[in-house]
Amino acid sequence: MKSPAPVLAALAAVLLPGIASAQLSEQAVWAAYAPNQYQVTPDVTYLTSEGFESRLDLYVPRNATAPTPVLMYFHGGFWVRGSKDASMLNILPYLEMGWAVVNVGYRLGRISLAPAAVQDARCALRWVVRNAAQYRLDTSRIVTTGHSAGGHLSLMTGMLTPAAGLDDRCPGSEPLSVAAIIDWYGPTDVGDQLEGPNRQDAVVEWFGGMPDRFEVAERVSPLTYVRRDLPPILTIHGDADRTVPYEHAVRLHAALEAAGAKHELHTVPGGAHGGFTRDQTVQIFQTINRFLREAGVTDGQQ
């Protein structure tokens, strides 16, 4: 498998047209120098289960003088498709911020049905905690994020408690917690998409023929774990999303508000399931930067 380091170098070349005749922007300079700024360790096995190796890619600043904030990214695909490699461009804003990034792959439905992807996400978090000293990672500033199913996994990673019984694939005594969650239009009531008007074939595929699928769906639904003592949660969702209905974000927002948890809902007017415009994306990242600052993850210099 190709290492992400040459991919970053190739990306820099794409982003730097006409460098001999034009002044480089700050973003272009960063892209050109990124391979020198980051140590990339691809395909680290963080869990072996049922003969399958779940892997992650690790991006660590080379010259960090103190432990760095950590962004854990989970790709989308309704838990049955997609890959960390195909989604790596989504981590670029955090690399530019100088963060460490953990790009997480996990067991898809063809390998293992629900709740395997959730178990993997928690195991990836345990791997980060256990290896923080080696890679100079700041475990007090771990942020989870992802798009669609990845948004769901970012929520589950930060909202689960040991009592849920989904940490058994990688048991340990380390407390598992995150500083903040950024959810991009993730499902919050998985059972809602197993049956009825919001049914999605891919969600049905993730559960296969298990007779207790609605019970399992409740165990892997973020709405099940709403309580006051949660990390701050930012949800980004288009109000015209027909894949994961906007109602999922609204229901989570209402439940978190009722529980007294810190939460913010950023609605994208007319937004579908991703594919937001440039202006909408700029507004989203302005919101993200403010959210992270207010959550105490950044110091306002990002």
The answer to whether residue 24 sits within a structural domain is: no
pLDDT of residue 4: 53
Contacts of 152 (CB under 8 A, 6+ apart): 146, 183, 186, 187, 188, 190, 220, 222
Q: Give CA 203 to chain center in angstroms.
A: 19
Residue type at position 133: A
The answer to whether residue 31 sits within a structural domain is: no
More confident residue, 21 or 184: 184
The answer to whether residue 299 sits within a structural domain is: no
The answer to whether residue 12 sits within a structural domain is: no
Q: Binning pLDDT at 50, 70 and 90, where does residue 195 land?
A: very high
Domain of 110: which CATH number?
Answer: 3.40.50.1820
Residue in 161, 176, 152, 11 with CA at minimum distance from that of residue 82: 152
C-alpha angle 212-216-218 in degrees, rounded to nearest 5: 120
pLDDT at 18 over 60: no
pLDDT of residue 55: 98
pLDDT digits (tens, 9 = 90+) for 148-177: 999 999 999 999 999 999 999 999 999 999
Q: What is the dihedral of CA 202, 208, 210, 212, to 10 degrees?
A: 0
pLDDT digits (tens, 9 = 90+) for 90-134: 999 999 999 999 999 999 999 999 999 999 999 999 999 999 999
The answer to whether residue 104 sits within a structural domain is: yes
How many domains are contained in the chain?
1
Q: Binning pLDDT at 50, 70 and 90, where does residue 17 land?
A: very low
Q: Binning pLDDT at 50, 70 and 90, where does residue 31 land?
A: confident
The answer to whether residue 120 sits within a structural domain is: yes
pLDDT of residue 23: 80
The whole-number average pLDDT for the span 262-276 is 98
The whole-number average pLDDT for the span 12-40 is 73
pLDDT at 56 over 50: yes
pLDDT at 280 over 70: yes
Average pLDDT over the chain reads 93
The answer to whether residue 14 sits within a structural domain is: no
The answer to whether residue 11 sits within a structural domain is: no
* Segments forming the whole domain that contains residue 208: 38-294
The whole-number average pLDDT for the span 173-182 is 96
